[in-house]
Amino acid sequence: MGPIGAVLCGAVASGGLVARWETLLVLVLAAFVADPLWGALWALIADADWLLVLDSRRLPARGDVVLPVPYTTPGSPAQRFAVWLGRVRVWARKEFAPRLGGHAVSLVVIVPLLAVLSLILGPRAVTLSLAALGVTLGALLTRSPDGPPSPWLRALLEIGLPWLLGHGSLAPFTARSALAVLGYTITYGASLSLLNSMNRHTLFLLNGGQVAALSLLVLWQQPIAATMGGLLLLAQVAAQTHLNAAPARVAWYSRWTQPLMLVGMLVAALAVR
């Protein structure tokens, strides 16, 4: 579905989407924050091997010679610090710089740019950007050494937070908007999980997230939107009859159904504005 589509849906749900150049500028800035900048945070933090490279146990046994403070006695804290600093210098040159040096330089550029654009969009955007940073750090800290980051945190970064950013850039948040996007965030997280865990539980969440959103539309007396969303969901369920654990089949299902999910999300946004 994508962060830009989620930003647009959030803007629609806010009810503040009007044909003015100021609104267009806000949406362009919000889309730039949600997609390339938040996406870069995910790629540079959550997808990288920071925990492995920064493990202190990976320091080499021998390091560069670092001269301690004059008159330092052998075995003193200052002398031990000089030895440790020499080991860190070798580690930085041989481990950190080749593997994560480019990531660190990119973060030095991206984080200030993200801060400036978030400030331009307002305090709600600043809060959401801090949340996006927290989500990426959480994905880094919770990922297994040999596995990908959490698809549920990625779904929150690519659907939930961008929807709220699109909404919050134009109008105050509403409970209806937040509840609607929650269902589609669960759906998107389940679709990302299909490659890792193709089972009944994942399919239940994949369909259940949309069923929850449609139930809210019924509760809010939006029968036309609920009917349209139900038809889109039925098309996805029909495609699941051809779904199995083969990666090619899962990729086919994602390509075919994600546009349907995006249209369903837009229908829900129109209904809650």
Q: How far is CA 150 from the centre of its chain?
A: 10
- Rounded to two decimals, the pTM is 0.84
The dihedral over CA atoms of 201, 207, 209, 211, expressed in degrees to the nearest 10, equals: -130
What is the number of alpha carbons within 13 Å of residue 112 lying toward its C-beta? 5
Distance CA 171, CA 124 (A): 10
Q: So what's the pLDDT on residue 95?
A: 65
The tens digit of pLDDT for each residue in 64-93 reads 545 455 555 565 565 565 555 556 566 566
| Rounded mean pLDDT, 131-136 | 95
The tens digit of pLDDT for each residue in 215-235 reads 999 999 999 999 999 999 999
Distance CA 43, CA 55 (A): 20
| Rounded mean pLDDT, 194-218 | 87
Distance CA 23, CA 166 (A): 11
**For the chain, percent helix, then strand, then coil, each to nearest 5?**
75, 0, 25
Query: Which residue is it, tokens 């029909």?
Result: 238
Distance CA 261, CA 269 (A): 12
**Burial state string for 39-74 with b = 16 or more CB within 10 A and e = fewer than 16:** bbbbebbbbbebeeeeeeeeeeeebeeeebeeeeee
Q: So what's the pLDDT on residue 164?
A: 95
Query: Could you tell me the residue ranges of all domains in the chain?
Result: 16-150, 174-273
